[in-house]
Amino acid sequence: MTRTKVFSKDYLVNELDLPWYNTIFDRIVDTTRWSIIHEIVFEDNGKFYMTTYSEGATECQDERPWEYDDEIKCTEVELKEIKVKKWIPVEDE
C-alpha cells in the first residue's frame, strides 16, 4: 500500500514555493486543450512526495497550479535504480 499525505495548497505554494522553486523533478505528463499537466517531486521534512498540477497552456488561459483545490494528495516516493529492457535497432558492423 502506498503512503500518501495531504498538504494544503497554501503550504505547498507559500511555504515550499512549489511548483516554481524547490521542485526536485518536474515533467509534463499530459495536455488538454486548455491545460498542461505536470508531475513533480518535492521534499518536505526529509521525505519526498510526488503529485500533479496543471497550468494554462497559453497566455490566454489564466490557470494557476492547484487553483481549484484546497488540499493536495501527494504520494511518498523514493529514488530507486531500475533496470529496463528496450528494443533497439541493430547496428551494422
Q: What is the per-residue pLDDT across 1-31, written as a single tens digit (0 to 9) for each?
A: 899 999 999 999 999 999 989 999 999 999 9
Indicate if the pLDDT at residue 79 is higher than 80.
yes
* Whether 16 contacts 5, CB under 8 Å: no
Q: How confident is the model at residue 93 (pLDDT cuts 50, 70, 90)?
A: confident
Q: Is the pTM here over 0.85, yes or no?
A: no
Give the C-alpha separation, 18 to 42, whole Å: 8
pLDDT digits (tens, 9 = 90+) for 27-36: 999 998 899 9
Q: Which amino acid is at 92?
A: D
Q: How confident is the model at residue 64 (pLDDT cuts 50, 70, 90)?
A: confident
Q: How are strands ordered across the β-sheet holding 35-44?
A: 4-8, 71-77, 47-56, 35-44, 23-31
